[in-house]
Structure 1
Amino acid sequence: MKSVKVVVVGAGVIGFSTAVCIAEALPFCSVTLLAEKFSPDTTSDGAAGLLFAAKFPDIPLERQRRWFKDSFDHLLAIAQSQHSPEAGVMLSSGWQIFKEEPADKKPFWSDFVIGFRPMTDRELNQFPDRKFGQAFTTIKCECSSYLLWLEKRFRKAGGQVQQRKLNSLQELSNSYDIIVNCSGLGSKLLVGDTQVYPVRGQVLKVEAPWLQHFIRDGDGMTYIYPGIHSVTVGGTRQEGNWRLQVDEGDTKSILERCSRLVPSLSKAKVLSAWVGLRPSRRNPRVERELVQLQGHRVPVVHNYGHGAWGVTLAWGTALDALGLVKQCLHEMPLQAKL
């Protein structure tokens, strides 16, 4: 009889990573993942999924380094295993290029990717108006495959999956001992977090099998990421914009900007366009609290607000969330565990 009942809310890359970590590490817990939307309808499904990161202002750098390293190592092991094609996880080499030399030429994550170095003059010659660049090999994780693979892994560990719309945490208080909130943008309503806001991203998938290297402009606005079945080109970063419709003007702008970097892209066939709202916050919220629900206090572990870095940091913050769940268990009265 599994004694402690844990519910994870949210079926994106953060929710499923967290649910897998808990189900595999704590077999005496009964873990349910509950969400209104599952793949292919999550924000994670459209994520370009290339691993590197930006700095969050108020989180100790050591913790951010750990998040990145844990995620990278986890995905690297998958990329080097027989699961790579099914999980949609592959190694990807390429360049990040800058119009001006950046202040931080060696970002905090550069130790964890493979072969990080400044670009040579010869490499930079491809991009005449760029002054500086970095070359490295990282990981591309295609969530439309990865989420299904994680779900399989979660069910194998005894996890249960339930599809339903949740309007408030109150609805869970009598059924579960610990609530893990990975609801992304949904946390605005679910836990009343006014600090979480959407950043609208539009990307296109194009057919361009001749492209083998990723290229990312240092400002993060323009990028070309070859994947297993197609090339993802983008993008937009529109803060506070809730619009989920594809915008033709954005499509045109993306194709123009990407073709300026790689002229052969003007010959690529556009396969699809996709829009998602990144759940952004000044800093991701990975912490626990006791919440008063239906007259009793329930431990809630939060793990959301990763913005554009969900795929990059998912496994690292999931391990942190697992640690917080263990703390909750440790502090529970004995009768709750029996």
Structure 2
Amino acid sequence: MTSEANDILVIGGGVIGLTSAIVLAEGGHRVRLVSRDPAADSTSAVAGGLCWPYRIQPHAPAVRWSLRGFEILSRLAERPRETGARMVAGTMTEPAAAGPEDDGDPLAAWYAAVPGLRRARPDEVPEGHTGRRARTPLVDMPTHLHYLEQRLRAAGGTVERTTFTSLAEAGQEAPVVVNCSGLGARELVPDPQVHPVQGQLVVVADPGIEEWYVCAAPGATDTTYVLPQPYGVVVGGTAHENAWSTEPDPAVAEAIVARAARRFPALAGAEVLAHRVGLRPARAAVRLEGERLPGGAWCVHNYGHGGAGVTVAWGCADEVRRLVYEAPAV
């Protein structure tokens, strides 16, 4: 397909690519989204879906993007069966020694802006921990990704299964390319700064858990999270830097459930429904900027969101739209 037939080519079919494509298509552009895999097979489909900035840098823009995500996902939560988003109360905790005071906490602006967010009482967190309570969007990702694809198509966008070997190749097919290739950017750009942070989780039958719960010390490789979804409870997890395997480790799965069961004993006997492993596309800092490609196409990069892709997607999509509009003249 020639550039005359397309205004914008978006590479990447996960939540980052889909939201970027939607914002552009609903803004009047003709958008063609291409990806190697269907959204259902993307890293986004494995995500727990909690709206909270996690393992993402730099903090200041990440909080701004996260608050935009909170705003939009909260609205989508008014139609949970269609969009997959719901508002669910829960607790974010960490060992007390690991938690800085608010005035030095890089997420202080997030704490201040989320409606109703408060410090957890001692009886609401494990002994020796501190935490915060909030009602936040929790997203059923398979449903949400289907919703996003349908919304893109309704705005006139197209979705194709195609791969490119380079951005220069993609730039031959459209005057504007939006690179949302996630971990694929390591080879496509190429950008060796992009690396995987492996996350393993277990899905179990819901024994009656109504709130989400996360316990994660900064930089920890083993975390605990319990996220009730319509299809079961997502129990996690791990954050292993530079681990490429997508095969679940039975011993790791057993340890994951055991950690969660210390907080929710009913999980110990819950039926296991699925084992999943996803590779978070991590980078020292999100790359969200434009550059001119060989041949003249304008490329907007939007990748490296680590464990916060669902949270920051809409905020980053707004930045993509701005960068597309501000493309310098050739």
Q: Do both share a fold (TM > 0.5)? A: yes
Q: Paired residue for 1:98?
A: 94
CA offset at residue 209 of structure 1?
4.1
- Provide the rounded CA distance (Å) in 2 between the counterparts of 1:72 and 1:37: 27
- Provide the rounded CA distance (Å) in 2 between the counterparts of 1:240 and 1:233: 22
* 1:280-319 → structure 2 map (5 Å cutoff): 280-292=282-294, 296-319=295-318
Q: Paired residue for 2:47?
A: 47
Unaligned ranges ≥5, structure 2: none
String of CA shifts for 1:28-67, please: whole Å, max 9, x gaps.
x32100000112100000100101114755x472x33321
Confirm or deny that 1:115 pairs with 2:116.
yes
Q: Cα–Cα, structure 1 residues 147 and 264, in superposed 2: closer, same or farther, change >3 Å? A: same
After TM superposition, the score normalised by the length of structure 2 is 0.91
String of CA shifts for 1:264-285, please: whole Å, max 9, x gaps.
1112111001111000001111
State the secondary structure of the residue aligned to 1:188. helix
After TM superposition, the score normalised by the length of structure 1 is 0.89
Larger radius of gyration: 1
- Provide the rounded CA distance (Å) in 2 between the counterparts of 1:323 and 1:76: 23
* 1:234-313 → structure 2 map (5 Å cutoff): 234-292=236-294, 296-313=295-312
Q: Is the 8 A contact 1:206 1:268 kept in 2?
A: yes
Q: Cα–Cα, structure 1 residues 55 and 244, in superposed 2: closer, same or farther, change >3 Å? A: closer
Q: Paired residue for 2:204?
A: 206
Q: Is the 8 A contact 1:286 1:302 kept in 2?
A: yes
Unaligned ranges ≥5, structure 1: 334-338
1:217 aligned residue (197, 215, 218) = 215
- Provide the rounded CA distance (Å) in 2 between the counterparts of 1:99 and 1:4: 51
CA offset at residue 249 of structure 1?
1.2
Letter in 2 for 1:312: T
Q: Is the 8 A contact 1:78 1:89 kept in 2?
A: yes
String of CA shifts for 1:302-324, please: whole Å, max 9, x gaps.
00000000001000001101110
State the secondary structure of the residue aligned to 1:193. coil
String of CA shifts for 1:245-293, please: whole Å, max 9, x gaps.
111111111011111121111121110011110000011111001121x
Q: Is the 8 A contact 2:85 2:137 kept in 1?
A: yes
State the secondary structure of the residue aligned to 2:310. helix
Q: Paired residue for 2:230?
A: 228
Q: Is the 8 A contact 1:216 1:223 kept in 2?
A: yes
Q: Cα–Cα, structure 1 residues 237 and 60, in superposed 2: closer, same or farther, change >3 Å? A: closer
State the secondary structure of the residue aligned to 2:30. strand
- Provide the rounded CA distance (Å) in 1 between the counterparts of 2:199 and 2:193: 19
Percent identity between the two aligned chains: 33
State the secondary structure of the residue aligned to 1:265. helix
Task: Tell me which stretches of 4 or more aligned residues in structure 1 moved more than 6 Å.
Answer: none
- Provide the rounded CA distance (Å) in 1 between the counterparts of 2:56 and 2:278: 21
More off after superposition, 174-183 vs 204-213:
204-213
Q: Is the 8 A contact 1:49 1:140 kept in 2?
A: yes
Q: Paired residue for 1:179?
A: 177
Q: Is the 8 A contact 1:72 1:112 kept in 2?
A: no
- Provide the rounded CA distance (Å) in 1 between the counterparts of 2:257 and 2:5: 54
String of CA shifts for 1:107-126, please: whole Å, max 9, x gaps.
331133331111123323xx
- Provide the rounded CA distance (Å) in 1 between the counterparts of 2:226 and 2:214: 6
Q: Cα–Cα, structure 1 residues 228 and 185, in superposed 2: closer, same or farther, change >3 Å? A: same
More off after superposition, 205-214 vs 184-193:
205-214
Q: Paired residue for 1:22?
A: 24
- Provide the rounded CA distance (Å) in 2 between the counterparts of 1:322 and 1:51: 22
CA RMSD of aligned residues (A): 1.8
